[in-house]
Amino acid sequence: MHIHRIISDLVTKKLHSGKAIVLIGARQVGKTTLLKECLQGQEDVLWMNGDNIEIRTLMANITVERYRSMLGKNRVVVIDEAQRIEDIGLKCKLLTDNFPEIQLIITGSSSLEIANKVNEPLTGRKWEYRLFPLSYGELAAHFGAMQEWQKLPVRLVYGCYPDVVCNPGSEREVLNNLAESYLYKDVLIWERVKRPDKVVRLLQALAYQVGNEVSTNELSQMVELDRSTVEKYINLLEQAQVIFRLGAFSRNLRTEIKSGRKIYFYDNGIRNALIGNLSPIDMRADIGALWENYMVSELLKKKHYNLTYAKSYFWRTTQQQEIDYIEECDGMMTAYEFKWNPMKKAKVSKTFTGAYPDVEVKTVTRDNYMDFL
């Protein structure tokens, strides 16, 4: 089963534009498959995988002459999992500076390593894109909007990783294998992670707090790590594309929370696998958290794929008045409340509408969510 990725059109348009292309995404979201689609029909492509120790050895002391012998007649170079290659940024700069006719494409499942090693050497020389698990837009385009709406209960539990979606009936087995075999690979191999078991416990604690404000102090007590280590691990998990955070929006009111944050998972299935709960939605007490995590992550995908460059927040006051999600772009704000049950009327904070009278608060339920994605 091949599902067309929205971002492949963006990548294809940038081929041979004079800059390197950097594609970042978690393992198994489909980066290599996407590139094979974009490069279909091109035979002059050199593929290298940073997970391969032979490639890392070959690239260890790379020179212009060695590049020339490696390239041969190839005009496209793809370096998969580039974060595994030491000093990859300088080695990419050496290639782009000396072989301007070569289209360099770099993929990585860790934006931390990619960013540290690539950003400065390739400043002004790269296009950077992010790939996520399959989006609602991609799935609806492939299966049809009606069928995808019917599949919503499955997506909320098992998520949208390509391998999970493409193996209906085997979602549980595929998802658990994905979580155990691939998810932590980039996180746990880092030397800075001295207690892998604590990272798993931290992820589980975050999974139970989806939709709630996260306290580093509380987390440190729960997982028995000091506050600075918890903060470091959260940063690493975010850079590894496992979780992402929303900051608090504040502008007009003294009572607005200014430094709070929420943490969400890029994929519902990974979140559920972490806590060992793959029960159907009608048997779950956390359907509200699942719905909120799904919608926030889907709006994030849409924002990135549409290149809207909007900033995302949540809003809350010290009196616990709250707006689930806010996007701000070019001075315009859109606010969202997420309610799984369409029969349950959302209570929109009058404090918020009073402070921001020009901002419409949209209620998103399982009956109308397609209109927003």
Choose one of 130, 159, 175: the last residue of a domain. 130
The answer to the question of residue 110 being in a domain is: yes
* Domains contained in the chain, number: 2
Res 77: pLDDT: 94
Task: With beta carbons less than 8 A apart as the criterion, state whether 296 and 132 touch.
Answer: no
pLDDT digits 0-9 by tens, 31-89: 999 999 999 988 899 999 988 999 999 888 899 999 999 999 999 999 998 888 888 88
Choose one of 130, 153, 180: the last residue of a domain. 130
Statement: residue 98 has pLDDT above 60: yes
157 and 35, same structural domain?
no
pLDDT digits 0-9 by tens, 186-218: 566 655 666 677 888 888 999 999 988 888 888
Burial 55-93 (b: 16+ CB within 10 A, else e): bbeebeebeeeebeeebeebbbbbbbbbbbbeebbebbb
The answer to the question of residue 1 being in a domain is: no
* Structure tokens given for 34: 């996407």
Residue 104 sits in a domain whose CATH number is 3.40.50.300
The answer to the question of residue 215 being in a domain is: yes
152 and 17, same structural domain?
no
315 and 174, same structural domain?
yes
When the pLDDT of each residue in the chain is averaged and rounded to a whole number, the result is: 88
Q: Any idea which of 1-15, 50-64, 241-255 has the lowest mean pLDDT?
A: 241-255
| Percent over 90 (pLDDT), the chain | 56
The answer to the question of residue 111 being in a domain is: yes
Res 347: pLDDT: 83
Residue 256 sits in a domain whose CATH number is 1.10.10.10
Structural domain that includes position 115? 6-130
99 and 152, same structural domain?
no
The answer to the question of residue 221 being in a domain is: yes
Choose one of 130, 146, 163: the last residue of a domain. 130
C-alpha distance across the termini of the chain, in Å: 23
Statement: residue 185 has pLDDT above 80: no
Statement: residue 106 has pLDDT above 60: yes
